[in-house]
Amino acid sequence: MNIAYVVTRLDPIGGVQIHLRDLTGALQAQGHTPTVFTGGTGPLVDELRAQGTPTVILRHLSLPINPLRDLRALREIRSVLKDLGPELVAVHSSKAGILGRIAAPVLGLPVLLTAHGWNFTPGIPKLQAAIYRQIERLVGPFASKIITVSEFDRQLAMEAGLASEDRIVTVYNGMPDVPPRLRADPGREPARLVMVARFGPQKDHPTLLHALAGLQDHPWELDLIGDGPLMPEMQALATGLGIGERVRFLGQRLDVDEILARAQASLLTTNWEGFPLSILEAMRAGLPVVASTVGGIGEAICDEETGYLVPRGNVDLLRDRIARLLRDPALRVRFGLNGRRRYEAHFTLSHFVTKTLAVYEDVLVAHRGRLVAGKQEDPRVAPRVS
């Protein structure tokens, strides 16, 4: 299968980017031919090319809304798709998702959107959400199918009227396994906590730091992995709360697996999400997870079985749940083992790729059927009747 992937950016490295890297690598191993088209550069471009995935940089595709530049990007996407002639176009991220869904049908190509969370999900400012909801309603009909990465997002899409129920399907993210040496030991003391999240409006580092400021009588250290514009503000907040010496700001890292292997619990405080890979990474490592109950997070974590779910912004409850884990190494071990089993049962790369390919095949079969029906109805190819 010859598949064109269109994504707005491959930097900074986040869930969308890791999703594409792992998916395209697995597809190539099965004999398929994926090609990635993206705006900008970054280390993931090198990773994709190193694994043999052709990756083409688009000159005009960028994040900020700019009508003239976006029109050029639309023309550029249409041009590269015409030259490649893929069987299927798979679009990811908001800007590429919109432009790709407009460009592909003009060329008669079936197009499929993978939505890694919606820009109108609860937690996003209301005006911004309203604008994106309307845009998605306008371009929604152009996609043959929409893959959502959580059932929460599937329901949200149907409630917003983006497409009919039969055209929206949930496929959970999955990740390749790690070797045994990268499994964590949650019972080790003192506990090292870790959170993998970009420092931006989406993530809720302040709630986490305020919760931990009330746990200074417990032995713990916190590693924060990620970069972003709000990092200096969070560094100042940690210092102001008196926990600056116990919090390490590690920036964007390519050795997340190694850091998780040395941790005893994983945390994710956030304002909105789709289905975050950072939680799957933690479960894969055998770590208990404490996370905000937003988006599809509750479909990965089982409360009081693999970790704890906490309402968004609830400092007191978050502090209580972290304290339970800090006090009880055996509880951390039990939750971590349960999370590891849940990862193996539902969130491996094999599960994810098999289900994704099934959706691709459905789209192609339906598209070919429409082509055949169109030819049969075309009077230029219909048999003459004497």
- The pLDDT tens digits for 173-197 are 999 999 999 999 999 999 999 999 9
Question: What pLDDT does 374 receive?
Answer: 77
* Mean of pLDDT values over 236-265: 97
- Run of H or E residues at 92: strand 88-92
Give the homologous superfamily in CATH for domain 2-175+348-377: Glycogen Phosphorylase B; (3.40.50.2000)
Q: Which two tokens stand for residue 75?
A: 């023309």
Q: Where in the chain is the domain with CATH 3.40.50.2000?
A: 2-175+348-377, 180-342
Task: Give CA–CA dist 301/293, Å, rounded.
Answer: 9
CATH top-level class of 180-342: alpha beta
Percent of the chain clearing pLDDT 70 (strictly above): 97
Closest CA to 258 of 237, 239, 242, 281: 281
pLDDT higher than threshold 70 for residue 233: yes
pLDDT at res. 376: 55
Residue 382 has pLDDT above 80, yes or no: no
- What is this structure's pTM? 0.92
- 184-185-189-192 Cα dihedral, nearest 10 degrees: 10
State pLDDT tens for residues 204-218.
999 999 999 999 999
User: Which residue's entry shows tokens 């919090």?
Assistant: 247
Q: What is the mean pLDDT of the chain?
A: 95
Which two three-digit tokens encode residue 157?
A: 């899409």
What pLDDT is attached to residue 149?
A: 97
What's the average model confidence in pLDDT over 68-79?
A: 97
Residues 6+ positions from 283 with CB-CB distance below 8 Å? 289, 300, 306, 339, 340, 342, 343, 347
